[in-house]
Each structure stands twice: as structure tokens, then as C-alpha cells.
Amino acid sequence: MNFVKAVGEFVGQVAEFIDSRNRINLQLNQWSYTGGDGVSGVVHLNCVVPFEARGVLVKVKGYELAEWEELRTRQIQEGDQTRTETYTEVIRESKEFFCDHINVYPHSGIVQQGEYHFPFQYQLPPTLPGTFYEKGHGYRAEIIYFAKAKLDVKFKHDLKHKVNFVVNEKFDKMLQPSYAENSKTFMFTKGRLIAKVWLDKNCYFPGNTVIAKLEANNTSVKPTNSLKVRVYKRIQLKAHHHHYDKVVEIYHQSYKGFEPSFYGVKWLPFQIPIGVQPSTTTGHHVQCRYFFVVECDIPGAIDLKVELPTAILAPQWLFSNQPPAPPVVQLPPDVSFRPPWQPDNTCNQCGKCSINFSLFKRKHHCRACGKIYCSNCTTKQTKITNLGYVDEPVRVCDGCSDSASQGGTVYETAAVLPNAPPVEYGAPTAPPTSLPMVATAPQ
């Protein structure tokens, strides 16, 4: 008798199964938001075969998840011997930002054949980290937001439709140029290299073309083989007082270096990859940051690096299938404020007295004109402020000594460029209020 009753109940449940031809669909008014925005949409229900339901719900949820693997060791006692075993421990923690249910149709009963539409609205919390998802070797990081529509029917055979949406982290900093500088000295060579880098702003979109302005003042005879721009992504995860830190290079570009004693401006264009994830810095368990590094490759010495943090924002078109093409950028010309440096292998005689160079008669460069002379013809030393030699006196030839003592003459190819606000060189300076697109010689 109990068996017959159970069969009857099962047949009754089967009768309540919802027909697979019935459909539910959730549609949002847009795909991306920021904290504090209102999320609105419509739940569409297409009923082909009538059924009994207990209401229509919309679940809106945001959460973050950090998960990674760490290698551990433990001691295992086997009789009189102890052995060490290595195992993998999974560190995992998650956090909900919000999880709310909106009852868009609270009535129960038979849903008749037809099409139904249930609008809804939801207010996001004011501060939310940006959407992020990355799964790599041994780690996973998620910041996910979604809305899910559910038609509540008996026996848990619900109709459901889930839609993810994007939350962009608010960029509350003032939009302004980004600036950084660094310098280094050399162990066996006098002078130093100063590198200053400007970017036109402190945040970018994926796919943007970035132009870095590099001002280099090299008072040594060390050349720079090449210049490199690298874009790095740093992922930081936190769970149960454990930390995971991973830095990944996502882009690099190389450029021609500069000669010894270079003093001038170089423009370094590069592009942010179109597929990078936006920055997110306010998450408790998941954070992602970006920074640019301009690197001077110096032979026989530690490379000089200048690091500039930046933010990558997420425009709405990033989540479409057809992003716009990057604009065509025209670069200003590179500028040198000093005359060309005469290579050592192009001269065997002093440029003034014509004496032959030998093991005992060394070559010396005049820092004002860049040409090669002997020691007897370059006995004077002075600071050349207009050419960036402001730290200590440098060697000049007899023909340039008078002009150099008055500050020197800026190389004429730089002086003919259009006028723009002057940039101070030599000692470290504060960043400019704007990035001039045409370099000028210092006044």
C-alpha cells in the first residue's frame, strides 16, 4: 500500500513539471555600472504550456573570491623513522558585497499561456571594487556581479536565467600628468645619468596609445644601448592571513638608445593591450594594479629603471565584440640639447694641435662641442649650466672655454623648435602641470 501511495505521489509530481517550451529571460538596461548606480531591467516570461507557480524572483549578488595553492611539508612518523612529505594546500576565502532578492511578482497560482514582463530596479552599494576574473596556474581570482531571474514552481523545477554585469571601480583621483624620475652613478666612470618620465595622464583605457616623454641627462661617457618600455600587472590575493603576490609582464617595446653624454628628449610610444582587465584596488581579497617601467639598458652597469603606477579603466565598449580602432598618433621629433658625441674610432689626432693619440696620449671629449682633443688642449674645466652640467665642472676645449664659462650655447637643432613652457633640467624638479607635446631647449 505504501508503494502504491509513493507511486501516486511521484506521478503527481511529474504532472507538476514545467514544460521545457516555457522560457524566462532577464534583460538589463546596460552592461556596466559603478558603485551607487541603479540597476534596472525586465524579466520576460513566455508561457506556452500553463503551469502553477509561486512567484517571480530576481536575485542580485556581488562577491569576490581568492584561491591559490601553496606547497607545504609535514613530518610523518613511520615506526622508528620520520619522513618528510610535501603536499599542496588550497587557500581559499570569499566575501559577499551584497546578496538581495527582489520579488517582482509575489502572486501564486496558475500561469496561463502568454507573454509576461516584470520590470525591476536595484540600487548598488556606493563603494564596490571593479569586476575581475583571472584563472592562472595554481590560482584563481574573481570579483563577480550578476542578476538571476527565477520562476518559483513546485518541487524545485524552477525556470532560471542568469546575467553577469560589470561594475567599474570609481576613479576618484584628479586626472593629471603622471611623473617619476630616477638617477644612478657609475662605479668606474665620473658623472651620472638622470632620467625623468612624463605621461600625459594617470589612467588609460585598454587599447589606448600612450606616449611617454623621456628627458635624459647623461653627464658620463656611458652609452645607453637601448630603451625599453614594459607594462606590468600585479595581482595580490589575501585569504585567512595568507598572501599571494604575482607580477606579470603583459607588454614590452624596445627603442634605440642614445650616445654618451646625451642630454635631450625622446618620445616612447606604446600601446596598452586591448584585452587587459581593469584595475581593481579596493577589494579585500582580490586586487589588481598596473605600472609602467621605462628602462635604460646600460652596458657594464645596472640598468636604470623609472616606474610609474597607473590605472586601467574599463569603458563599456570593452565588453562588446567590436572595439574602436586606436587613433593615429603623430610624434614630436626627438631632441638633443648637446652637440653629437664624436665616436672614439673616428679620430686618431687631436682636433686642435693634430698630435697623434697613443697609449700615453689619451683622447678627451670637450663637453661643450662633443669633439675629441688631447689633454693639453682641454685643460680647463667649468660648469655648463645651459647644457645640463650643473653638478660639477667638466672638461672643455680651449675654443669653447669662454662660451662654456658663461653657461654655454644650446645645440642649434633644438633651439629652432617652436617655443613652449621651459622645462628645468639638472637638479630634480617637480612634475609639470601639463605635458608639452613639443620639446624645447631650456632658457
Side-chain half-sphere of 205: how many Cα atoms within 13 Å? 13
What pLDDT, on a 0 to 100 scale, did the predictor assign at position 37?
A: 94
**Mean pLDDT score across all residues of the chain:** 84
What's the grid cell of residue 222? 656611458
Q: Tens of pLDDT along 264-282?
A: 999 999 988 888 888 999 9
Residue identified by cell 509561486 is: 54
Q: Considering only residues 1 and 58, tell me which one the structure prediction assigns the higher pLDDT.
A: 58
What's the CA gap between 380 and 394, in Å, rounded?
8
- Residue 125, pLDDT > 90, answer yes
What pLDDT, on a 0 to 100 scale, did the predictor assign at position 334?
A: 87
In this structure, the number of other CB atoms found within 10 A of the CB of residue 38 comes to 10
What pLDDT, on a 0 to 100 scale, did the predictor assign at position 12?
A: 41
Side-chain half-sphere of 290: how many Cα atoms within 13 Å? 21
What pLDDT, on a 0 to 100 scale, did the predictor assign at position 184?
A: 94
- Residue 394, pLDDT > 70, answer yes
Q: Tens of pLDDT along 348-359?
A: 999 999 999 988
Entry pTM: 0.78
What's the grid cell of residue 11? 506521478
List, in order, residues 6 or more apart from 22 with CB less than 8 Å away: 45, 46, 47, 48, 49, 51, 159
What's the grid cell of residue 56? 517571480
- Residue 421, pLDDT > 80, answer no
How far from the centroid of its chain's Cα atoms is residue 412's Cα? 38
What pLDDT, on a 0 to 100 scale, did the predictor assign at position 315?
A: 62
* Structural domains in the chain, sorted by start: 2-63+93-168 (2.60.40.640), 178-335 (2.60.40.640), 344-409 (3.30.40.10)
What's the CA gap between 68 and 139, in Å, rounded?
4
Q: Considering only residues 343 and 157, tell me which one the structure prediction assigns the higher pLDDT.
A: 343
Please say whether the beta carbons of 392 and 383 come within 8 A. Answer: yes
What pLDDT, on a 0 to 100 scale, did the predictor assign at position 157?
A: 62
Separation in Å, CA 258 to CA 22, 72, 147, 297: 70, 49, 55, 10
Please say whether the beta carbons of 26 and 40 come within 8 A. Answer: no
DSSP 8-state secondary structure symbol assigned to residue 188: S
- Residue 3, pLDDT > 80, answer no
What is the largest distance, in Å, between two alpha-carbon atoms of the chain? 124
